[in-house]
Amino acid sequence: MAFVFVDNNHQIDATRRKAIRSHVMKGKNAGKERPLGSHQKRAEDKAAKSRTQSHQLAIATEFVVSIHRPLGNDMAYVSFPSQLSTSSMGNICRWIHFAGQGCYPLASCFPHNPSEASWLPFMQSNEAFFHCILAISASFSDDMTGLAEASPKTLQHFSDAYRSINQNLQQTRIPADSTVTVVTALTIHEDLRRENFASRIHLDALEKMVKMRGGIDAFDNNQFLLNKICRADIEHAIHSCSNPRFYRDKFPYDAIGGYPSPSRSCLDAEVESPFNQIYDDFMTTCTRLNSNSTLPSMDSAAYQEMLISICYRLLRHYPLSTGSSHNYRTNNEGAYCLGMIALLSTLLFQRGIPYQLSYQTIKNRLRNVILGNNDKTPLPDEVLLWVLFVSCISVFGPEDLPSLLPELKGCLQRCNVDSWPRVHQIIKPFPWIGVIHDEPGRKLWKLTIWT
């Protein structure tokens, strides 16, 4: 067979190219029918396509509920005096979480949004407060990571904060709220770091500032700052066993539905006394916090007023600086006061920190109450059981338990207790907040029966 070569060297003009395309398409479209064109049909198809696209867009819109925000950062859109690094922002967020745990039992109070916090305007506008928050949050991060000494960055922020405070005091004769807030925060910070001497120096300065402003009641228009001043004062008094510098008693009876009428199984129910009123209000607070599942969450400001009022009245009735009170009607009141102070320590800033604060003087007095319970007027076993559980889950540490567990085991045997529900039944009539104390109490029970 001879090969036939196609010579395609000639230029193909437009006519021949059209003929080639027509020839090819005839074979490809063989047997097909071409529908007649219609302007109306094309308009209908276009309208149907538009309706389909609109329906798909509506379906997609239903699932767009919010604009995506950076994960775990409520303050990503807040401006500050200077740009914050990612690590600094993380330190602040972790510190805010810790402070929330220390200020409020989260299951019983309204949650707080950091971006709506009362201190945020100070941090945005006041240089001293800005550096103070950076320093405290960085120091908290150092403690969490186990650093023995503060990092250079933390020390620099503290230095900037002190410099800014001095500048503010030189510019104004009366300290502003922002300056008082910085000193309050520094007082609490040093207290939590177990630096009682440094905390006392800051508290002395805070006391002078409060006097210059006209007393503690002058801060009634700033509830956030007022609560923190009182908390700093109470924290230092309990940690150092000293007398508080201020006093405030605004127990929010309206927030709990009226005056309480708790059971006084081990107190003199017929005699009204300052201690009975303190005990009643403390029991009412515990009952209110234990009723979180049946009642609306408590307002955080009301919770703070409850705690501050009870702490100040109790510390006035039982001065930790002397450990005695001429108002005692029975020898058992001292045991009640110490047990209540130990329980209150679990509601203060101790919650959430990675180490246990020292309450050495309170521990020694509680140990004397527990181990010296063979006096002429011993505590009833139910009261002693409550004191043992409260003190072991609050101020006593693991190193103290070997000497206390035998006493606890003996008390359980005298009370014929063989289960945790039975323990809970006995201590429930006394001050006890389930959302905070049930879990450590159950662990202590298990440790006791297996030791």
pLDDT tens figures, 226-285: 999 999 999 899 988 899 999 999 998 887 765 455 555 455 554 457 888 899 999 988
In the block, residue with structure tokens 């005091």: 169
Q: Are residues 226 and 272 in the same domain?
A: no
Average pLDDT over residues 113-126: 61
Counting residues of the chain whose pLDDT is more than 90, the rounded percentage is 25
Looking at 213, 240, 267, which one is the last position of a domain?
A: 240
Domain count, the chain: 2
Q: Are residues 126 and 273 in the same domain?
A: no
Could you tell me if residue 60 is inside a domain? no
Looking at 186, 212, 240, which one is the last position of a domain?
A: 240
Could you tell me if residue 37 is inside a domain? no
Q: What is the distance of C-alpha 415 from the center of its chain?
A: 37
Q: Is the pLDDT of residue 129 over 70?
A: yes
DSSP reduced 3-state for 109: strand
Comparing 63-67, 169-173, 289-293, 420-424, which segment has the lowest mean pLDDT?
63-67
Contact (Cβ atoms closer than 8 angstroms) between residue 375 and residue 331: yes
Question: Which range is most confident: 76-85, 163-172, 266-275?
Answer: 163-172
Predicted local confidence at residue 424, as pLDDT: 92
Could you tell me if residue 269 is inside a domain? yes
Could you tell me if residue 401 is inside a domain? yes
Q: Are residues 143 and 91 in the same domain?
A: yes
Predicted local confidence at residue 374, as pLDDT: 55
Q: Are residues 233 and 285 in the same domain?
A: no
Predicted local confidence at residue 246, as pLDDT: 95
Residues contacting 437, CB < 8 A, separation 6+: 343, 346, 390, 393
Q: Are residues 340 and 432 in the same domain?
A: yes
Counting residues of the chain whose pLDDT is more than 70, the rounded percentage is 66
Could you tell me if residue 80 is inside a domain? no
CB atoms near residue 203 (< 10 Å): 28
Q: Is the pLDDT of residue 337 over 60?
A: yes
Q: What is the distance of C-alpha 75 from the center of its chain?
A: 17
Looking at 196, 215, 240, which one is the last position of a domain?
A: 240
Q: Are residues 296 and 193 in the same domain?
A: no
Q: Are residues 318 and 213 in the same domain?
A: no
Q: Are residues 225 and 342 in the same domain?
A: no
Residue 354 or 215, more confident: 215
Q: CA dihedral in degrees (321, 322, 324, 325; nearest 10)?
A: -70
Predicted local confidence at residue 168, as pLDDT: 83
In the block, residue with structure tokens 């009682």: 196
Predicted local confidence at residue 431, as pLDDT: 93
Comparing 39-48, 238-247, 296-305, which segment has the lowest mean pLDDT?
39-48
Predicted local confidence at residue 271, as pLDDT: 47
d(CA 335, CA 370) in angstroms, rounded, equals 9
- pLDDT tens-place string over residues 306-325: 999 999 999 999 888 876 55
Average pLDDT over residues 430-436: 89
Q: Are residues 212 and 278 in the same domain?
A: no
Q: CA dihedral in degrees (358, 345, 340, 389; nearest 10)?
A: -70
Predicted local confidence at residue 8, as pLDDT: 60
pLDDT level of residue 133 (50, 70, 90 thresholds): confident
Could you tell me if residue 400 is inside a domain? yes
Could you tell me if residue 14 is inside a domain? no
Predicted local confidence at residue 115, as pLDDT: 46
Q: Are residues 142 and 267 in the same domain?
A: no
Q: Are residues 265 and 175 in the same domain?
A: no
Average pLDDT over residues 63-80: 51
Average pLDDT over residues 104-126: 60
Predicted local confidence at residue 275, as pLDDT: 86
Domain that holds residue 361: 255-449
pLDDT level of residue 298 (50, 70, 90 thresholds): confident
- pLDDT tens-place string over residues 184-195: 989 988 888 888
pLDDT level of residue 22 (50, 70, 90 thresholds): confident
d(CA 185, CA 134) in angstroms, rounded, equals 12
Comparing 16-20, 36-40, 98-102, which segment has the lowest mean pLDDT?
36-40
Q: Name the amino acid, one letter, at 209.
A: M
Which is nearest to 338 in space by CA: 367, 302, 295, 373?
A: 367
Average pLDDT over residues 8-32: 71
- Mean pLDDT score across all residues of the chain: 77
Q: Are residues 278 and 213 in the same domain?
A: no
Q: Is the pLDDT of residue 62 over 50?
A: no
Could you tell me if residue 403 is inside a domain? yes
pLDDT level of residue 68 (50, 70, 90 thresholds): very low
